[in-house]
């Protein structure tokens, strides 16, 4: 087992920051996230092991539960883990804000020590070489390293890892960027599928847009959704943490602390590093994917998507820094790059260029009109699609139901159910039950007659 006793204190001080609570997060962290971080070119490659830390914001119960785990003992042989205590969340607490509160505590700790913070999530798998890459960028003076954040379907990814015998108790999970991409591409989460430009379900709020490359395993992406994998907290004069009180770190946290002209490195090729965020469709799902009929029309479809993208670029969900780096393409690929990629990248670049270009006064008016029309259409469509959920919330408001429902809580709010909210569907079911039963009875009688017919 390796030892930290003879390590030098040269090299950047790296604080790996993560937040977790509860058995589900804890087991995910110990079974796949931490093992991937203990691959040879990750935590073991850290130059300054004596001063570097793994900072874990978690409950006392979860902290104690990790101590005797074999993979946690292996971690201790490389760097020291630090515990920042958090209270057990209430059942009514929003998971997003609980995570943000933990990240606020972790980043303040890194800021107070002037370290490089490596922001990690307990349900992400990191390719071997991720820490080595980030350590290199820290050494050359980069302020922030951004990597694209996308969801992949948890059960499918974990099943393939187990079938490949890559997940073994107490052992590091070593997987190269291309192998990780190849595995993950087979299990895109439903949210990530909403990013597909060449589809009839392109999202109204396109935080990321992807273009598949024909004949190749991979896609080109342009995004506003970035994980700040590395942050130089020594370069921050005054630590701005307001965003954590109402949103998540991937909003305007980096812009608030570094401004538009930050020295940012964007990971534009998954060969440099790859992170795979795991989300179960049972916890968050967008199935069945909502198709937009207008997006299937040859010319109108392109206009609709372009207006959606242009509107989002100028929305409150973006900031000047993220708009600046939105033009940088990202290659996520399991196969070598070929000439086909350049064609797809050129097409994507043209679409992005039109989206960020300042429109004329007339063009701005047309865009505003179309954007408003699409918003109204979307809202009406959403409320009809999730009418069962809307009725549930109404019942909560007037006191007929106690539990607080969420449209993304894993319940099936889309499939019609027998009731007043679905009169036509309910009438159809009633008619089928009445007349279908009669037909079934006649068919059964006919079968009996056939079976007893002496001919």
Q: What's the pLDDT tens digit per position in 310-324?
A: 989 988 889 999 999
CA angle in degrees (0–180, nearest 5) for 126-207-259: 85
Residue 221's DSSP bridge partners are: 210, 330
Q: Which residue has the higher pLDDT, 271 or 435?
A: 271
Instruction: Kindly provide the residue ranges of all beta strands, DSSP E only, lying in 35-123, ordered along the sequence.
Output: 53-58, 80-85, 116-119
The predicted pLDDT at position 182 comes to 97
| pLDDT value, residue 321 | 96
CA-to-CA distance for 435 and 422, rounded, in angstroms? 20
CB-side exposure of 454: number of CA atoms within 13 Å? 0
Tens digit of each residue's pLDDT (9 = 90 or more) over 59-80: 999 999 999 999 999 999 999 9
Nearest CA to 192 out of 162, 145, 148 is that of 148
Give the tens place of pLDDT for each residue, 12-29. Answer: 999 999 999 999 999 999
List, for residues 91-148, the tens digit of each pLDDT value.
888 899 999 999 999 999 999 999 999 999 999 999 999 999 999 999 999 999 999 9
Query: Helix 361-385 vs helix 387-397: angle between axes, to the nearest 10 degrees?
Result: 80
The mean pLDDT of 390-400, rounded to a whole number, is 78
- State the DSSP H helix or E strand holding residue 265, giving kind and residue range, or none if neither: strand 264-266
**pLDDT tens per residue across span 283-340:** 999 988 888 877 878 888 888 899 889 989 988 889 999 999 999 999 999 999 999 9
Cα 68 to Cα 85: distance, rounded to the nearest angstrom = 18
Number of residues in the chain: 455
Closest CA relative to residue 7, chosen from 58, 34, 47: 47
How many Cβ atoms sit within 10 Å of the Cβ of residue 131? 25
Q: Where are the domains of the chain?
A: 14-187+225-282, 416-455
Residue 9 has pLDDT above 90, yes or no: no
Residue whose token pair is 């490195």 = 265
**Residue 445: pLDDT above 90?**
no
| Alpha-carbon dihedral angle through residues 58, 60, 62, 65, given to the nearest 10 degrees | 140
What confidence category does residue 6 fall into, taking pLDDT thresholds of 50, 70 and 90? Answer: very low
Above pLDDT 70, what percent of the chain?
82
Q: Does domain 14-187+225-282 correspond to CATH entry 3.20.20?
A: no
Q: Are 127 and 267 in contact (CB under 8 A)?
A: no
Instruction: Answer yes or no: are the C-beta atoms of 87 and 113 closer than 8 Å.
Output: no
Q: What is the pLDDT of residue 355?
A: 92
- Using alpha carbons only, give the angle 216, 221, 222 rounded to the nearest 5 degrees: 160
pLDDT in tens, 224-253: 999 999 999 999 999 999 999 999 998 899
């Amino acid at each position: 087992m390796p030892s930290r006793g003879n390590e030098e204190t040269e090299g950047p001080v790296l604080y790996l920051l993560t937040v977790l609570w509860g058995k589900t997060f804890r087991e995910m962290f110990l079974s796949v996230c931490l093992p991937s971080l203990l691959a040879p070119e990750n935590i073991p490659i850290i130059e300054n092991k004596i001063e570097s830390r793994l900072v874990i914001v978690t409950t006392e119960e979860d902290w104690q539960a990790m101590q005797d785990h074999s993979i946690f003992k292996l971690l201790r042989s490389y760097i020291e883990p630090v515990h920042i205590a958090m209270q057990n969340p209430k059942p009514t607490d929003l998971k997003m804000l609980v995570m943000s509160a933990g990240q606020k505590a972790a980043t303040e700790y890194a800021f107070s020590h002037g370290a490089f913070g490596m922001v990690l999530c307990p349900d992400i798998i990191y390719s071997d070489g991720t820490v080595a890459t980030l350590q290199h960028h820290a050494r050359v003076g980069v302020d922030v390293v951004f990597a694209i954040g996308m969801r992949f379907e948890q059960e499918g990814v974990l099943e393939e890892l187990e079938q490949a015998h890559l997940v073994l108790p107490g052992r590091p999970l070593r997987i190269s960027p291309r192998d990780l991409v190849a595995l993950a591409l087979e299990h895109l989460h439903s949210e990530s599928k909403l990013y597909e430009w060449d589809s009839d379900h392109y999202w109204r709020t396109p935080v990321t847009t992807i273009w598949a490359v024909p004949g190749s395993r991979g896609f080109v992406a342009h995004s506003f959704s970035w994980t700040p994998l590395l942050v130089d907290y020594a370069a921050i004069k005054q630590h701005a943490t307001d965003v954590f009180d109402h949103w998540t770190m991937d909003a305007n946290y980096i812009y608030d602390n570094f401004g538009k002209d930050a020295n940012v490195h964007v990971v534009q090729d998954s060969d440099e590093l790859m992170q795979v965020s795991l989300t179960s469709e049972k916890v968050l799902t967008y199935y069945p994917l909502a198709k937009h009929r207008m997006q299937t029309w040859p010319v109108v479809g392109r206009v609709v998507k372009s207006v959606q993208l242009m509107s989002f670029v100028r929305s409150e969900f973006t900031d000047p820094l993220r708009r600046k780096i939105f033009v940088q393409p990202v290659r996520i690929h399991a196969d070598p790059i070929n000439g086909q990629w350049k064609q797809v990248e050129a097409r994507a670049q043209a679409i992005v260029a039109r989206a960020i270009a300042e429109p004329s006064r007339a063009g701005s008016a047309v865009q505003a009109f179309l954007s408003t029309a699409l918003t109204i259409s979307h809202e009406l469509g959403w409320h009809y699609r999730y009418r069962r959920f809307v009725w549930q919330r109404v019942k909560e408001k007037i006191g007929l139901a106690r539990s607080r429902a969420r449209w993304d809580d894993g319940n099936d709010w889309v499939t019609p159910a027998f009731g007043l909210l679905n009169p036509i569907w309910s009438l159809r079911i009633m008619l089928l039950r009445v007349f279908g039963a009669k037909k079934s009875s006649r068919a059964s009688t006919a079968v009996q007659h056939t079976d007893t017919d002496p001919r």
